[in-house]
Amino acid sequence: MPFLEEIVEAVISGNAYKVKEEVQRALKAGVEPVRIITEGFVRAMDIVSEKFEHNEIYVTDLIITARALHTGMKELKPYMVTGQVQPVGRAVIGTVQGDIHDIGKNLVGIMLEASGFEVIDLGVNVAPSAFVEAVIKHRPQVLCLSALLSSTRSAMAETIRALEEAGLRHKVKVVVGGTPLNATLAARMGADGYAPDATSAVPLIKGLIGADRQRRVNLEPTTLIKALERDSLEELQRSFRHLIGLEIVIVDARGNPLSPLGGFLECSHYCQLGGASVKPSSSREELTTYVGSYRGAFVYRCPAGLVEISYPLANEDGPIGAILCGHCLLVGDELEKLDGKIPVLSLTDLEAVCGLLSFMAGQIIQLNSALVSCKELEEERNSFIHFLKKQHQLEQALKDAEFKALQSQVNPHFLFNTLNAISRLALLEGAHTTEKMVGALARLMRYTLYRLKGLVTLREELGVVQDYLFIQQTRFSDRLISEIEIEPQVLEARLPCMVLQPLVENAVIHGLEPLKEGGIIYIKGRLVGSQVHLEIRDTGVGIPDEKQKEIFDLEISRSGKGQLTGLGIVNVYRRLQHYFGAECALNVHSQPGAGTSIQLTFPFIKEEFSKG
């Protein structure tokens, strides 16, 4: 169809406007929305995926294509809401806590929507508890966890553990993806699958939920045992035998009996009688030709020529069992070597029996569905209660931590008062250097305790850095020299607390302290457009190449000396990302023996703002 071909070409070329235009034309021409998805979007993405796998296109091309596809999906959203397009499944997606990257997640969401999935996007920096709440609320078949930072792998594992603790893990497939992962790590954290990129995610997810649906169909019939108690089944069999003269047996999808067999197998007695058989009249040899008249039942003859009836039990997921009924003869059958105890029915009687079986099957399926729904609701209720208990425990733990934090403030207050007393004493005794050093230490401790949350001005942050440098210069005398050049207007810029000080401390401890002759720390700041550019440079020993790689991979280990080696750099970047998102940057340039330069870039903001 030309409309669908045009849609495919527009998606592949990434022409969002044309995709929107062609989708609208196709809808006006009467093309079904489901065909636009399956023969337009899905086909286009299959071609794009193949090109991506063969390196014929790149990630940027993939993003452009996905955006064009997303534009077309918006045109179909009204039809999906009204039920004209039935989703093939439901997926909850999100970037895990501690990570704000969303390009990969967005690509997966768009491709899932194009493949007919209903997608619930939780966004970025999603806590494990939020994922659990979404699984309880939306009941998805698959949960997709995304991450770019290797430091957030633990958040993925915590999310999977949270699902297990809430009793929901068996209800949803978990697929993880992102740069810091591989199939081994995914399996180790308990995920059901790993997708290295968006193009491989969709077939993986389809395969996982397809296998899950088959598993549920196979297990579903076990609920029939609970649907009817054994005593009630036997009573039903006796009543049916008394009323009709036939036996009934209920079996599951594998043919295993769920009710007593009764006299149903007595047919085998006739099969074993040498030559015992029924010669049906020629007009009634092929009973299956009358299936339409038998209310969906399958009517056939056993090896002895006796009539059997099989009425399927099926719900929306597929077959869950059957009702077997038999055995009888039809009017006009010729009997040989039979004892006359077999009921004889007319075609009208046979149709009436099939009608009764149809009614019974409907009641069993309804009862079975009701019990399954009750069971699922009970499981969800228990999971939600468990989740609430866990939340309550976390809230209680938070209150305990706050109380302990309040208690711990007693010692800092005492320490501050003591330091102030020592400072005044040193001033009275004429020990001016001691008075300044104690004052600097008190201000530094007070700043780290009370200003750790929220944004501060660069002027305030620089004051703490100067106090820290004064303390270290007192220790190292002329081995440590600092030069600060900050443009005046930049001093009013706001940034997270404790951004400069950890970087300066790293430079002192790991850059300059190992040098016998000492060195210089340069701190510079300027305004470039709407961005603040800060540089902390030292003339120290530099950072080895392998340590630089660890810093950028955010895989930092303890050095055993002073601070965590590189951890100050990592924490600074995380704090900047938390407040400024993608608008900030951190670069490290270092050569062994030639010093290190750390450059920060973030938006120039003069007023406090709340991170939402």
| Residue length of the chain | 612
| Per-residue model confidence (pLDDT) at position 535 | 94
| Per-residue model confidence (pLDDT) at position 35 | 82
Q: Check whether residue 74 and residue 94 sit in a common domain.
A: no
Answer yes or no: is 389 within a domain.
no
Answer yes or no: is 472 within a domain.
no
Looking at 335, 355, 375, which one is the last position of a domain? 375
Answer yes or no: is 395 within a domain.
no
How many C-alpha atoms does 442 have within 13 Å on its Cβ side? 18
| Cα–Cα dist 361/250, whole Å | 10
Q: What is the pTM of this model?
A: 0.44
Q: What is the CATH number of the domain that holds 290?
A: 3.30.450
Answer yes or no: is 386 within a domain.
no
Looking at 346, 375, 404, which one is the last position of a domain? 375
| Per-residue model confidence (pLDDT) at position 458 | 92
Answer yes or no: is 530 within a domain.
yes
Q: Check whether residue 237 and residue 352 sit in a common domain.
A: yes
Number of domains making up the chain: 4
Q: Which residues of 320-340 are buried (b: 16+ CB within 10 A; e: fewer)?
A: bbbbbbbbbbbeebeeeebee
Q: What is the CATH number of the domain that holds 21?
A: 1.10.1240.10
Reply yes or no on whether the pLDDT at 417 is more than 80. no
Q: Check whether residue 30 and residue 111 sit in a common domain.
A: no
Q: With bands split at pLDDT 50, 70 and 90, how would you rate the model's confidence at 214?
A: very low
- Hey, what are 487's tokens? 């443009």
Q: Check whether residue 241 and residue 341 sit in a common domain.
A: yes
Weakest mean pLDDT among 223-227, 387-391, 505-509, 512-516: 223-227
- Hey, what are 148's tokens? 């770019």
Q: What is the pLDDT of residues 485-518, one digit of tens each?
A: 999 999 999 998 888 888 888 888 878 888 888 8
Q: What is the pLDDT of residues 277-302, one digit of tens each?
A: 555 554 444 554 444 456 778 888 87
Per-residue 3-state assignment (H helix, E strand, C coil) for 263-308: CHHHHHHHHHCCCCEEECCHHHCCHHHHHHHHCCCEEEECCCCCEE
Structural domain of residue 36, as residue ranges?
Answer: 1-85
Q: Check whether residue 207 and residue 235 sit in a common domain.
A: no
Q: What is the CATH number of the domain that holds 126?
A: 3.40.50.280
Q: Check whether residue 47 and residue 133 sit in a common domain.
A: no
Q: Check whether residue 242 and residue 354 sit in a common domain.
A: yes
| Cα–Cα dist 370/462, whole Å | 68
Q: Check whether residue 207 and residue 238 sit in a common domain.
A: no
Provide the mean pLDDT of the chain. 77
Q: Check whether residue 317 and residue 254 sit in a common domain.
A: yes
| Per-residue model confidence (pLDDT) at position 108 | 85
Three-state SS at 463: helix
